[in-house]
Each structure stands twice: as structure tokens, then as C-alpha cells.
Structure 1
């Protein structure tokens, strides 16, 4: 039998009624002749509750016990889903990560999947089981301890299973009905995309789009797993949702696929740094060691042996960055006159594989922002992306103006 992977997020399994609704969708796929691997998240809000209990019990917790507690939410959902399917006369059983086994690294709370042997589940399929309900977000370390995969881990679990079992597709059920050209809550002209290339989805996910977790898209791109994003709450057709696939599987597309934004950004500038070999390493190594996620970097032209260095990072990491750089200043590894933090900026990005073969996208973007009176603070580009930092108060205006300018409401 062909294998299909179906993943249900927390909102899709938030109540017993929603679990029953999800189970009916699984039943439809079983009736089509598929063996189905269902990956489930914890019921909505449960993981946060469990994390809260751990922090209240032991603020300096043992990470191994943290994983043991926090992974339990998915176990509950998996058991309830299997019971629901059995009530529908569908042969199903639940699987915890260690039973598959999902073999991971030993990095508790942020483990990475290393291998998923298919033998155990395939043997059960051969014995008549039609649905394997697997607890997402978890695995087992070489030491035999439960591990968790970090934020968005169930998406990553689903794609990894699709790769390991050579699945025909991996369907990600969530509370939205697909991938949009931008957030519909910001721009009412946002359009649902029928298809989007892996590279575009990866950029959009890393730039602020919350539909899919970045690691899951990276994994899907590496193993050529076709992903479909669709809603748990709407009636489905065969072409529902958005298919994330190879660029070659898309006949024609707009030059720009979407506009992404990240609201909580900060711009930090080291004023008057010595312009010498090794200065960039002296600045960014301490930031890396402090866990600061640096994104855009700009160095000004040097004057009289001094230069300014500007970078962006998430706004919640500003204090960490300030401490790391001030400590480096104290140690004498860098010498700057002033550290200026602007915590009221947003990052706006246009993304599209069509940029590889079309010129003028950057010029058009800058012209549009200029016509709206929006000043650009920092610019960064890649082969299929242009990102800018602007004042946060202009974020929604910029998204709407760019969406209109690139006519993203129209199909390619």
C-alpha cells in the first residue's frame, strides 16, 4: 500500500470533537487504499501548561526530565486519536517516539532526528494495521532518554517520517487553509497560493511567515518530500491547500511569490569601530557565543581608520547583545565609541524564484517605499529575496503597498 503522512497541529486536536473530525479525514485517506502515518501535536495550550509546571517545580531544571514531562502532551493526543480511529473500525495503534524508534541526538529540548527505521511500523502494516498514530515532537537519545525537538518539532517529525517511509505526500493540517502571498490579517488582498517552491517557502518561513517551521521545510527540500498545507476546519477537495514542491513542478509563477514581515526586529550600530583585519570576527564571535541571532549586516565606508558596523537581531535579544559587546569592549577585543540600539523597526521582505531571471525587482521595491514616504534603514539581498529594515509604524503600509505593486492578488 502507498504510505501517506498526515500531521495535525495543536488547534486541530484541541478537543475530543476536533480529534474526531481529524480522525474522519484519516478515514477518508484509508478508504482510498493508503496506509497512513498520523503525526500529532499536543492538544492546544497543553505544551505551554507542561512547560509552566516544570518551571514552577524547578527553575534550574534537569533538561532530561523537562523532555520527559513536556513530551507527554503528544502521547495523550496519540492515544486518544488511536482510540477514536478504533471506534470507527479502523485498525490503528499509537506509537511514542521511542517505540518507532525516532533516533535523535542527545541535545535535550532541541534534539535533531538522525534516523527513523521503518521496520517496526511496516511490519504492523503488514499485519493489518492501517493507521500508525505517532506522537510528534519527540524521539530517543543514544543514551535511551526521551528527547524533544524544539519549536515546531511535530512538523519536522512529519516530514522526517515522509522521507523515511518514501510517502506519496506529507499533509500538514493547521488552522489556515494554505500559504498566502502575505498575512491576510495585514493585507485583505492576500491570495492563497496553489503551489510554492521549497526555496520560496524556506525564505518565507525564515523571514516571519508562521505557516511552516523552517527546519521542516529544509528537510522536505533535502529529501524531495511533497508538502501540502491545508485547513483542518474546511471541507477538502483533492486540490485543497497549498503544495510545497520542487521548482520544476510549478508551470508558471509570479516574479515575486510573497511579502513576508517580521515585526519584532532591532537595529544595532557600533559607532566608530577600528577598521582592521579581524574586527568583524571580534564583534560577531561574542554575539554568536551569547546566542544572539544576527541577521542583516552592513559596514560603512571607513574614514580615518574608523567605521560603523550595523546589524539586526530579534528585539528580545538586544540586552544579550549589549552585554556581549560591552564585555568584549571591556576585554579590549573591540573598541567602539558608542552602541546604539533602535528597537522600533520591522523587516519587510519580497521573495520569489522569478527574481533569478527578472531584473528590476529591487528598484521597484525601493521606488514603492519611497513613494509612500518610508525610509529604508538597512538592505540585504539574496538570489531570491530582498529584505529591508524600516520603522515599525510603517510596516502594514509597506506590506500593502508592495503587495499591490507586484500585483500578488493575481495568479501567475
Structure 2
């Protein structure tokens, strides 16, 4: 099982290069199913068109529109393979039988049919499947959210019991920190699945967090490789694999964070609010009980309008106040040794003091320590913590 992202198929020339790579895999004796994203920038272009027409378009129609990007890229890749004399067939997720729930733009995969896939493979075809999409029980086209093609690839690999799920992208593996933020970032040859899930959910963009969840649940061997440079990449491993792993894995950085502080909200309304978050797939983090009927939590700015609409609806039933703090970023240190090593917290506090950067909130769990702070302090703090914690290894 192989998956190629948008940059890997971003131009006709790159599609031709992917076709060459796939033919090499076939010549090595492998049956190939490949998942492909839309060409780089295409999904944004399509969504931009929708928002020119309506600032808050129907989510069902957005999914119908966004899913069309993958249809173009899988057909183009099939054409490139057929031109080379290799039989190939492109299939939409609906043709494969990828069933999802009905949460448009953030759907979750419920099941994957394999009959059509095995039929095509037995006929000697290279099967090219559209990532990022599925259908619900009513036959509506759904999409899996940003990075959802990773989840498609892992789900197909699990269903087919593939030897390995290889995610080809524009980077050559998982890094200790985003190289765009810290020039000292280094590649991690091995990453445990728990740490990888934390990194993905906390801002590391190489893999979609749902794909890690799915891979861990089904124990899918998962490797991240570069489309442009042959290498072993980074392997996601699982508990009991017998591999030596570092105590601290990496640092994840997430910009465009928002802190929402609610005052005078009853426990009943708190419960109702978070049930609505679950229904609408709004992800929150760093939940803090600030006092009687006072809570705070972080979320991505992209979800703010939905959350504020929900707050207005509930406040109409029982009055409460809320404050929104923007211009924030979240930095998270991830690894099995975070909580067990008090020196990690000491270093973080020392560096925050040196930058005169008062955090909005901090939280520590078994394998992560997260700090919410002003975005302007993020790069400086990230670089110093990376040097002290991951290079010098206190």
C-alpha cells in the first residue's frame, strides 16, 4: 500500500515520476494499491470558489465539491501508467466501498469493502484510489478532513492486510520539530505510535492524527518517506516491538490557537456544550477548571465561529459570559519521559522566564507537556527547548 500527497502529484511531471516509481514496485513483484490526494492547491482552490459564492456554504455541498479534486489526480495517474503499458484502474472511494458516518468535512471511516479491490488486483491492475473521501449510508459523498488521504491509505492497508503502508510526501520522515521553525531539527528513524499520535494531534503535519489512531488500532506497519529522495524514512512502531526509543520524542508547534474562557456556566450547560462539540467534531485541548462555574480550553481558530455560535445558543437559555484570547500558539513536548523527569518542567519554566513569556496555561500528562502562549514567543522558545531537551538531552 502506497499513498502520495498533493505535492507528489502537483504537476504532470510529478505524476509521471510517481508512475515510474509505481512501475518499479510492480517489477519488484508486488501487487500495488495506491491512494492519491488532490493536486497541491486544488482543494483550497475549490473551497475558495465556494466561499466566493457563500461565506457559510452547505457542508454537504462542500464535500461534494472538495471530493472532485481527487477524481482528477487518480485519473491522471492511471493515464500515466497505462501509457507505460501497465494496466491501471482509478476508483473513487464510493466505488471501492469506503463507508463513513455523516459528519460532512470531518467524517470517520466505519468500514472498508475489499471485494472490488481484490477483483482488480487479481486481474493484474494497479489500483488507484481517491483519498480523503467516502460515502455515508444514504449515499452522500463525505470527506475525512484535512490530511484524510493518510487515513484512507491506512484503512485500506488494514482491510487488505498489506505488508506495509508507505506514506510518500514532500519530507523524508518524521522530524524532532518542524524544520521551518528550528534549523536544528533532525529526522527520527523510529517513533512509537503513542508519541506519534500526540505529535500529529498537537500540530506535526506530516501525518493525520486519525490515520495514526487507525494504524495503532489495527497494528498497520506505517512508514513515512520522501517522494523525491530514496531513503528509509521514519517507521511508526508499536508497543512490544523491542526497539530502543528516546525518552523524549519531539516538539510539536501549533499556531492559530485560541483560548476560550467561560464564566457563570453551570455544569449542566458545560455538559451540553461539550456534547455539541462531539456532535460537530470540534476538537478542544488544555481544558482547565478555573473556579466554580468557570472553565477554559483551547481550540484552533478555524473552529471559533462554530463554538461562539454554540455559546450564543446556550447563553440564550441560561446567561453566561465568555472571553476569547487570540494570537496564541501551543508548544508541546512529547515523549515517554516527560512526566517522570521533573527537569523537563524546570527547563520549560526557566526558558519562559528568560523570554518574559507568561503562559496562558500549561498542562502535563504521561507523555506530553503543553504550553499555550503568545505566538510571537513560539519560535524562540521552541528553538531553545529543542536544543536543551533533544540535542543536549538534559
Report the TM-score when normalising by structure 2. Answer: 0.89
Counterpart contact for 2:339–2:365, Cα < 8 Å? no
Q: Does 1:289 align with 2:276?
A: yes
Residue 192 to residue 250, structure 1, CA distance change in 2 (3 Å): farther
Q: Per the alignment, in what secondary structure is the counterpart of residue 230 of structure 1?
A: strand
Go from structure 1 to structure 2 and tell me whether the alpha carbon gap of 1:407 and 1:100 turns closer, same or farther (over 3 Å shift).
Answer: closer
SS of the residue corresponding to residue 207 of structure 2 reads coil
Contact 1:104 1:147 in 2 (8 A): yes
- Pick the aligned partner of 1:76 from 62, 72, 78: 72
Secondary structure in 2 aligned to 1:103? strand
Would the aligned equivalents of 1:104 and 1:113 in 2 still touch at CA under 8 Å? yes
The match for 2:295 is: 309
2:141 is matched with which residue? 146
In structure 2, do the counterparts of structure 1 residues 250 and 28 end up closer, same or farther at CA, with 3 Å as the change threshold? farther
Q: Kindly state the Cα deviation for residue 41 of structure 1 after the two structures are TM-superposed.
A: 0.9
Other-structure match for 2:244: 252
| Contact map agreement 1:253 1:354 (CA 8 A) in 2 | no
Aligned equivalent of 2:317: 331
Distance 2:237 2:183 in 1: 26
Farther-moved stretch of structure 1 (23-32 vs 45-54): 45-54
Other-structure match for 2:348: 365
> 1:381 aligned to 2:373?
no
CA distance in 2, matches of 1:61, 1:323: 16
Aligned length: 391
Pick from 215, 234, 242: which aligns with 2:234? 242
The superposition leaves residues 65-86 of structure 1 with CA deviations (integer Å, 9 ceiling, x where unpaired) of 5434332221121111112112
C-alpha distance in 1 between matches for 2:339 and 2:301 = 32
Residue correspondence of structure 1 range 39-78 to structure 2 within 5 A: 39-56=35-52, 63-78=59-74
The more displaced of 22-31 and 161-170 is 22-31
Taking structure 1 as reference, are residues 65 and 265 closer, same or farther at Cα in structure 2, changes over 3 Å only? closer
Is 2:103 the counterpart of 1:116? no
Question: Secondary structure, in 3 states, of the residue corresponding to 1:185?
Answer: coil
User: CA separation of 1:188/1:77 partners in 2, compared to 1, >3 Å: closer, same or farther?
Assistant: same
Query: Equivalents in 2 of 1:90, 1:100: separation in Å?
Result: 21
When Rg is computed on C-alpha atoms for both structures, the one with the higher figure is 1
Q: Secondary structure at the match of 2:79?
A: helix
User: Does residue 406 in structure 1 map to residue 389 in structure 2?
Assistant: yes
Aligned-residue CA RMSD in angstroms? Answer: 2.7
Cross-structure match for 1:137: 132
Q: Give the 3-state SS of the residue equivalent to 2:32 in structure 1.
A: strand
Q: Is the 8 A contact 2:43 2:66 kept in 1?
A: yes
On the 8 A contact 1:368/1:405 being kept in 2, the answer is no
Partner residue, 1:105: 101
Aligned partner of 2:29 in structure 1 is 33
| Deviates most, 225-234 or 106-115 | 106-115
Q: Is the 8 A contact 1:267 1:341 kept in 2?
A: yes
Q: Specify the SS of the correspondent of 1:375.
A: coil
- Report the 3-state secondary structure (helix = DSSP H, G, I; strand = E; otherwise coil) of the residue aligned with 1:312: strand
Structure 2: stretches of 5+ with no match in the other structure: none
Aligned in 2, Cα 1:51/1:115: closer, same or farther, shift over 3 Å?
same
CA–CA distance in structure 2, aligned partners of residues 64 and 324 of structure 1: 20
Q: Name the SS of the counterpart of 2:337 in structure 1.
A: helix
Shift of 1:94: 1.4
Correspondence for 2:86 among 83, 90, 96: 90
Are the structure 2 counterparts of residues 116 and 268 from structure 1 closer, same or farther at C-alpha, using a change threshold of 3 Å? closer
Deviates more, 1:95-104 or 1:9-18: 95-104
- 1:230 alignment partner in structure 2: 225
Conserved 8 A contact 1:287-1:325: no
Distance in 1 (alpha carbons) for counterparts of 2:316 and 2:68: 45
Indicate yes or no: 2:373 matched with 1:395.
no
Kindly state the Cα deviation for residue 202 of structure 1 after the two structures are TM-superposed.
Answer: 0.8
Question: Which residue in the other structure is 1:267 paired with?
Answer: 259
Change in Cα spacing, 1:381 to 1:124, as seen in structure 2 (3 Å) is same
Instruction: Name the SS of the counterpart of 1:262 in structure 2.
Output: strand
- Does residue 18 of structure 1 match 2:3? no
Q: CA deviation at 1:346?
A: 1.8
Deviation (angstroms), 1:358: 4.7
Distance 1:409 1:153, change over 3 A: farther
SS in 2 for 1:10: coil
Unaligned runs of 5+ in 1: none
Q: Per-residue displacement from partner, 1:284-308 (whole Å, max 9, x unpaired)?
A: 63365375543212234x5xxx575
